[in-house]
């Protein structure tokens, strides 16, 4: 049987593991946590710190994988790249993984090619004087860690007083931060694959964001490719294709966060050569496009499976859908609606809810503060209808101060 590796075996990896097993692969999983959720589903497990490249490579040399299965991994995508380099596999290289996961280097490389027009400042760990970073700033500005994903510790400030207040508790910083000029426009998530040097767009997801300063994503609207969205799709394809060429990303899945203001350019916030987590690659994208990107990538990467593949959703009509997370920001839950009632009265395609009466809701400040609550996916003819249905569904939850 063909052997494959999973690097990082948290809950986001389960769909990828099962997809590979359905295609006949033997899957070994590596994670530093011996109780990782993906271990239950893998064929064999190795409890190893995935940040330790040498240990990860030792395991890969023992297994001799035909593929590292792409999953929503964060900073240590670099370990995936090292394995791919070692065994000459499809997927991200270590060098390109560094460019994806280091936001400072990512900006430097793209801006040098005139592909990222933004003011950008690096705040090194250990800096203890606010005046050291305030001299050349323009506002509004986005502050975020140099490394990391899931919108951890990301916020927006509009003046130097707010900037000083935000950094007051961080000085001296225990990690590197970056500060960038804030771009106007709608934010989108991009799902796709670079196959033989050409970017193939699978899905565009318009973000539903909380107000400033945190601007956390609490939902995504699928964006069907149609005449109304022709320019957006055309610009996105051209932009991501160019960025992937600069970063030398090829034969890999990817996701990106971008901003579009209706003008002639797409601004790339960040890009990573792996699928998106938060129930996107495994639930929302397959439902809205008909494309299971991990399964298709496995079939592309392993011709010995003798299975056809496609990354083009046009053979199926993309659907107008919304995945909405439960973003209640204050109050104690007293009533949670019946799941069967929601399925019977609304166009609900998927509903997963962990909220229960008596739970207290806190402010949404990052991805972790919302993802564990659950989500629902609905379908309608347009975004306005989706918003109306969403409001009705959430009206069945009752909270008190």
For the cut 90, the answer to whether the pLDDT of residue 303 exceeds it is yes
3-state secondary structure at position 157: strand
CATH of the domain spanning 99-103+184-319: 3.30.470.20
Report the distance separating Cα 88 and Cα 82, nearest Å. Answer: 10
- Is residue 177 within 8 A of residue 133, CB to CB? The reply is no
pLDDT of residue 362: 87
Q: For 64-87, b where at least 16 C-beta lie within 10 A, e where not — what string?
A: ebbbbbbbbbebbbbbbbbbbbeb
Q: Which ranges in 209-351 belong to alpha helices (H)?
A: 230-247, 285-289, 293-301, 339-345
State the residue for tokens 């707010």: 162
The predicted model gives 69-87 an average pLDDT of: 96
Q: What is the mean pLDDT of residues 186-195?
A: 97
Least confident of 28-32, 144-148, 209-213: 209-213
Average pLDDT across the chain, whole number: 92
Query: DSSP code of 283?
Result: I
Above pLDDT 70, what percent of the chain? 95
Cis peptide bond N-terminal to 172, omega within 30? yes
- The arrangement of strands across the sheet holding 360-361 comes to 360-361, 331-335, 398-400
pLDDT for residue 130 is more than 80: no
Q: What is residue 151's predicted lDDT score, i.e. its pLDDT? A: 64
- Asked which of 55-59, 67-71, 212-216 is least confident by mean pLDDT, the reply is 212-216
Cis? peptide before 23, omega within 30° of 0: no
Flag the least confident range among 24-28, 123-127, 148-152, 330-334.
148-152
Q: Which of 133, 134, 104 is nearest to 118 (CA)?
A: 104
- CA atoms of 257 and 187, how far apart (whole Å): 7
pLDDT at 135 over 70: no
Comparison of pLDDT for 249 and 316, the residue scoring more: 249
CB contact at 8 A, 95 and 81: yes
Residue, of 93 and 168, whose pLDDT is higher:
93
Please state the pTM of the whole predicted model. Answer: 0.94
What is the fold of 119-181?
Dna Ligase; domain 1 (3.30.1490)
Q: Which of 149-153, 225-229, 297-301 has the highest mean pLDDT?
A: 297-301
Domain boundaries, the chain: 3-89, 99-103+184-319, 119-181, 322-400
- CATH T-level topology, domain 3-89: Rossmann fold (3.40.50)
Question: Going along 136-291, which residue ranges are E strands?
Answer: 141-145, 155-157, 177-181, 186-195, 198-209, 217-222, 252-260, 266-272
How confident is residue 137, by pLDDT bands cut at 50, 70 and 90? confident
Residue 229, C-beta contacts closer than 8 angstroms, at least 6 positions apart = 204, 223
User: In the structure, what pLDDT confidence band is assigned to residue 255 with cuts at 50, 70 and 90?
Assistant: very high
Listed in sequence order, the DSSP H helices in 117-253 are: 131-134, 160-168, 230-247
pLDDT mean over 153-163: 83
Instruction: Give me the residues paired with residue 99 across strands.
Output: none
Tens digit of each residue's pLDDT (9 = 90 or more) over 306-360: 999 999 987 667 789 999 999 998 899 999 999 999 999 999 999 999 999 999 9
What confidence tier does 168 reach under pLDDT thresholds 50, 70, 90? low
Query: Taking 70 as the threshold, does the pLDDT of residue 365 lie above it?
Result: yes
């Amino acid at each position: 049987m063909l052997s494959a590796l999973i690097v990082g075996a948290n809950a986001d990896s389960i769909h990828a593991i099962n997809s590979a097993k359905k295609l006949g692969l033997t899957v070994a999983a590596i994670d530093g946590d011996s109780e990782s959720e993906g271990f239950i589903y893998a064929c064999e497990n190795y409890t190893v710190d995935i940040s330790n490249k040498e240990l990860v490579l030792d395991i890969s040399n023992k297994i001799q994988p035909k593929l590292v299965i792409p999953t929503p991994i964060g900073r240590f995508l670099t370990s995936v790249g090292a394995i791919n380099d070692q065994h000459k596999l499809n997927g991200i290289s270590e060098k390109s993984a560094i460019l994806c996961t280091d936001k400072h280097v990512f900006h430097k490389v793209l801006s040098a090619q005139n592909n990222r027009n933004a003011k950008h400042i690096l705040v090194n760990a250990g800096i203890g004087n606010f005046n050291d970073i305030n001299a050349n700033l323009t506002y509004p500005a986005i502050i975020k860690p140099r490394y990391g994903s899931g919108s951890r510790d990301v916020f927006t400030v509009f003046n130097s007083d707010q900037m000083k207040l935000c950094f007051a508790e961080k000085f001296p910083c225990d990690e590197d931060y970056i500060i960038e000029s804030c771009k106007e426009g709608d934010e989108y998530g991009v799902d796709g694959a670079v196959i033989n040097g050409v970017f193939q767009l699978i899905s565009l997801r318009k973000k539903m964001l909380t107000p400033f300063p945190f601007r956390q994503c609490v939902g995504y609207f699928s964006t069907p490719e149609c005449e109304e969205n022709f320019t957006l799709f055309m610009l996105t394809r051209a932009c991501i294709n160019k960025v992937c060429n600069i970063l030398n990303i090829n034969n890999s899945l990817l996701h990106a966060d971008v901003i579009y203001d209706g003008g002639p350019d797409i601004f790339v916030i960040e890009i990573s050569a792996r699928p998106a987590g938060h129930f996107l690659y495994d639930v929302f994208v397959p439902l809205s496009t008909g494309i299971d990107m991990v399964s298709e990538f496995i079939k592309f990467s392993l011709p010995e499976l003798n299975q056809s593949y496609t990354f083009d959703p046009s053979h199926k009509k993309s659907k107008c859908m919304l995945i909405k997370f439960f973003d209640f920001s204050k109050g104690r839950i007293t009533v949670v609606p019946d799941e069967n009632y929601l399925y019977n009265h609304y166009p609900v395609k998927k509903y997963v809810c962990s909220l229960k009466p008596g739970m207290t809701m806190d402010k949404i400040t990052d991805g972790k503060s919302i993802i564990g609550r659950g989500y629902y996916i609905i379908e309608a003819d347009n975004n306005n209808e989706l918003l109306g249905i969403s409001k009705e569904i959430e009206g069945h939850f009752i909270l008190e101060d």
